[in-house]
């Protein structure tokens, strides 16, 4: 016989209510009453097949619900990113890093824009390593450019959750292999004063991405930091 808990998990609210009434009226165990109720709902199906079908449907519904929630969260994140960028009037920066292959040669790209619209682009080869190191080096290059230009506050955008989450992590809680990059980034942020890092979708980080890839292209403008 199928366990009572398994039957309860697939029974609808109305079915559970009917089985309780049956158990009370017929003076039988709740388990037996629920079996009868679900067998009636199953029709010509065996109870085992009926329960398995219900469980499969529940799994599909749960997966669909998670997908909907993820899509809503992504849309909300994109909307927030667009709003934040539009409302920022101080210094702004975008960073991205590339590794070719991964790990391999590193390229860092960045854009820094001042309050008056002055724009500085970064496209520099940066040795070898993995993509996380490339992203960190790109962030550091953008912060150095902002500090060099006298920024006292800045919003820095990037599509690397690894780097943004890591540099914001409490001391000792970050990725050990990236600790020296995190320390350098935090030191630069402290020198600037008011720095906020914000994740954006890759599609909204196109210029920094192009500059990071350009740094790895022998025919491109590798080494550019103006």
pTM: 0.60
Structure tokens of 138?
């790109």
pLDDT tens, residue by residue, 103-140? 999 999 999 999 999 999 999 999 999 999 999 999 99
Q: How far apart are CA 60 and CA 51, in angstroms?
A: 14
> β-strands 119-129, 153-158: how paired?
unpaired
Q: How far apart are CA 139 and CA 108, in angstroms?
A: 8
**Is 88-225 in CATH node 3.30.420.10?**
yes
Structure tokens of 217?
């292209």
Residue ranges covered by each domain of the chain: 4-64, 88-225
Quote the mean pLDDT of the chain.
90
């Amino acid at each position: 016989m199928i366990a009572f808990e398994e039957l309860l998990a697939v029974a609808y609210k109305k079915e559970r209510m009917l089985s309780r009434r049956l158990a009370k009226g017929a003076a039988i165990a709740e388990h037996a009453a629920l079996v009868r109720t679900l067998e009636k709902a199953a029709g010509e199906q065996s109870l085992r097949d009926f329960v398995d079908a219900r469980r499969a449907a529940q799994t599909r519904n749960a997966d669909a619900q998670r997908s909907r929630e993820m899509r809503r969260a992504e849309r909300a994140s994109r909307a927030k990113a667009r709003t934040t960028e539009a409302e920022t009037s101080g210094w702004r920066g975008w960073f991205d890093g590339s590794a070719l292959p991964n790990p391999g040669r590193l390229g860092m790209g960045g854009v820094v824009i001042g309050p008056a619209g002055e724009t500085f682009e970064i496209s520099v080869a940066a040795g070898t390593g993995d993509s996380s190191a490339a992203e960190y080096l790109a962030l550091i290059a953008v912060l150095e450019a902002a500090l060099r230009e006298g920024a006292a506050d800045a919003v820095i955008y990037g599509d690397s959750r690894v780097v943004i989450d890591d540099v914001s992590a409490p001391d000792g809680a970050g990725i050990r292999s990236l600790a020296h990059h995190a320390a350098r980034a935090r030191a630069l942020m402290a020198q600037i004063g008011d720095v906020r890092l914000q994740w954006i979708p890759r599609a909204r980080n196109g210029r920094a991405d192009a500059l990071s890839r350009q740094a790895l292209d022998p025919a491109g403008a590798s080494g550019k930091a103006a």
